[in-house]
Structure 1
């Protein structure tokens, strides 16, 4: 995170309690005469009141702004616009969930929005959103496309996943507009996301939720990143602190959470946490990428720091290779950095950098390393995702050699996930800053599927051996947990899965092709794409 943004964020979170205490305006109907002056004191400027960032609106404020502009332009060619009274009804309605059977085109979409009742079509709303949404960049003009760039817009010709369910959750709190790794899952029935002052656990199968972690009462205590893996849940905060909980330890509730300090630096925001297994043992490790330019590795079992390395930029996201030898890192730099996960320079504090790869045009906030051991994806604010082959990161002249550069739909991609081995057709899921989830064919990188909602996105996760994809939507009125499931489960050809190698066999889902076909045939309904 850039230093200026860091300072603004800390100041904002010091005033979080004051923002939260401001009463919301009455949700009463209002007519066209006063629509030009009816403005929410806080929510109109940002979908999350305490979030510093570009003034992109949440769903209901987006609709109100659309209606207000149409009122200002009365007498000219107005066109169709949302009805203010219907927007209020949408905001005050108490939808709990949306099932596949509830979908009715414009009468009920993935978020349960009745666009016909509001007075516009979903297609019109999407077109307007594309025209008005502002993609945040640190370097002006970096996301502008020109014909000489290698960026490729992929055709939307695939159907990898279909909609299963959307659980509406109105207590989601996105604390920082650039950091979108605040969603974690440990199973289909345990998903975790941040609320104000706590981490919430939600069971999509039963619909029950509770606070599983509570932060200190300090004004700046907000969740900036969340990660789970190897039986542990870890949250990083704005003040350089972390909270750790062993999910299945059986510890009493009042002693289950362990707090610690990562750094006392004023620039101590925890940008990202990567939970992985040590290369030479079964010990879980956590790599903390902090905004003070330092990457620190924690032994989760003993809660002791094993190493730290200082970079010349703030790391915003890291991913460890399947064999545990290398680490890919992106941050407040235009380069993709590959380092040794276990540095030969241990104790010096200097990173053991093996490659610096150029090609991006802004700062980076997402990366992932596929289970095949050599496919790497990086995403920067320039609205591009680059694919790299770890076996050939540079050409014969030493220049960075990416396999392809994929352009996003509306905003920069801030979350990346490769599908796990054994889950069927291999895909790369790229969630943008808001609205769009791109499911890219990771075999050819020439086509994709897009799923779109209205709202800022907080993260993505695979569960059920890669058969389920979960997405966190952070809209304050129609946000929640979007659940998608594989289309044609069990029918994919095996050669479209990740190829067999020393990296994949230990991770491959142990289920025969014939059993997957029987499972698909036994489904009560035909699994067609949505």
Structure 2
């Protein structure tokens, strides 16, 4: 994203407005879809959202749309509207026609698997997107605990008791409550969160001017905040939390200033700083901590030594810029997601070419997740679709989750039981929850 400066970002986001209702539609109080009045105030949107009911698994089994869309009141069917979206959705590309060109080498996969079933659509939890290219804004730390971004706040949602709690509000200013070397002395005014990452101990968020904000979930206030860089257009694009081999808590920040920085969360000091030739949009660390995938404003993806930052291999195949990456827990294979509408699977033992090229339907692959047991890979398009691949089938079988709205993020729970998907839309903004289906054998039932 290095070529987007200042107002250019705003212009791009206006063109690809993630906050507008799906194709300009909204529901009235009787839950009928109507054309949106452009002068409608956002406060009215919020009030109306809370009038709309959630959708449960029982509702879905009885035939109700999982998003609560009353198709029977419309002049078109869901199927015809889906076809319209497939034909008219405008995917953002940095390199023109990259999606069409990439289609030629994609793997043919069998659709129809059922690995995760719908459990609930929660309308009262509305996630938002700060930058239209960054979609890592939903994180599950357990099957019941989810963190998501809403405007200037990070919210915690408990699926167990249905309560949302404001965990961190960065509107106005942010200042550390703890004193540490390197902690920013003055406050950040009107910080806007561009990306975030959460585990069971720590929440970290990045900002539009290189801000890094850290909060320990068991402590009051902000633990640490700083400016990672003072370069122009220094947006923090991605964050990752991990434990080192010694058990220390570290984070990795990927930035538009072409840097990848690793911080020690015990001392809050910069531990490593590597620079590359282009804006880094995402970094993923291998399970053993020795390798890292670097993707960004280049068609190539890099496999680098995580200790030295030295490039081990430059992987060729994608036709546009990449914004997502993830390691399989097996430590041998990994995935990269690109604006050419593909997700490529790579084997670290032979990087001459990708093992598989998986195709999206309408948009860039902006988020990728593996389950912790390595059985499934999910890839989220910019809007409307999340695909879940059965890795044991060699990625030949997949489940397609089909809905309407921009995807703000997705996350499997650590125990793999639940998949959460954030939908950003003024009318249909919500949190989708899916539960894993287990196939127990006869002997398993006796245990």
1:367 aligns with 2:325: yes
Give the aligned partner of residue 6 of structure 2: 7
CA distance in 2, matches of 1:375, 1:165: 32
1:186 aligns with 2:141: yes
CA distance in 1, matches of 2:18, 2:9: 20
CA distance in 2, matches of 1:434, 1:225: 18
Q: Measure how far apart 1:490 and its partner are.
A: 4.8
Give the aligned partner of residue 341 of structure 1: 306
CA distance in 2, matches of 1:386, 1:484: 25
Any conservation in 2 of the 1:153–1:408 contact (CA below 8 Å)? Answer: no
1:352 aligns with 2:301: no
Deviates more, 1:110-119 or 1:312-321: 110-119
Give the aligned partner of residue 472 of structure 1: 422
Q: Structure 1 unaligned runs (5+)? A: 13-49, 65-81, 344-350, 395-400, 493-512, 520-530
1:376 aligns with 2:334: yes
CA distance in 1, matches of 2:108, 2:17: 26
Q: Measure how far apart 1:153 and its partner are.
A: 3.9
Which structure ranks higher in relative contact order (CA pairs < 8 Å, sequence separation ≥ 6)?
Answer: 2
Q: Measure how far apart 1:84 and its partner are.
A: 3.5
TM (normalized to structure 2)? 0.87
2:71 to 93, 115, 128: 115
1:428 aligns with 2:385: no
Any conservation in 2 of the 1:167–1:204 contact (CA below 8 Å)? Answer: no
Map Cα deviations across residues 180-215 of structure 1 (whole Å, 9 max, x no partner): 011112222321111222211111221111211111
Give the aligned partner of residue 347 of structure 1: none
Against the structure 1 CA distance between its residues 187 and 146, is the aligned structure 2 distance closer, same or farther, given a 3 Å change threshold? closer
Root-mean-square deviation over aligned CA pairs: 2.7
Deviates more, 1:364-373 or 1:441-450: 441-450
Any conservation in 1 of the 2:24–2:35 contact (CA below 8 Å)? Answer: no
Any conservation in 2 of the 1:386–1:404 contact (CA below 8 Å)? Answer: yes
Q: Measure how far apart 1:305 and its partner are.
A: 0.5
Any conservation in 2 of the 1:181–1:459 contact (CA below 8 Å)? Answer: yes
Give the aligned partner of residue 406 of structure 2: 456
Give the aligned partner of residue 234 of structure 2: 268
Q: Is the partner of 1:368 in helix, strand or coil?
A: strand
Against the structure 1 CA distance between its residues 96 and 258, is the aligned structure 2 distance closer, same or farther, given a 3 Å change threshold? farther
1:131 aligns with 2:87: yes
Q: Which structure: larger Rg? A: 1
Q: Structure 2 unaligned runs (5+)? A: 27-31, 173-187
Matched ranges for 1:121-270 at <5 A: 121-145=77-101, 149-169=104-124, 171-217=126-172, 221-229=191-199, 231-248=201-218, 251=219, 253=220, 255-270=221-236
Q: Measure how far apart 1:266 and its partner are.
A: 1.6
Against the structure 1 CA distance between its residues 120 and 61, is the aligned structure 2 distance closer, same or farther, given a 3 Å change threshold? same
Against the structure 1 CA distance between its residues 57 and 476, is the aligned structure 2 distance closer, same or farther, given a 3 Å change threshold? closer
Matched ranges for 1:287-366 at <5 A: 287-343=252-308, 351-366=309-324
1:491 to 434, 440, 446: 440
CA distance in 2, matches of 1:243, 1:284: 15
Against the structure 1 CA distance between its residues 299 and 415, is the aligned structure 2 distance closer, same or farther, given a 3 Å change threshold? same
Give the aligned partner of residue 504 of structure 1: none
Higher strand share: 2
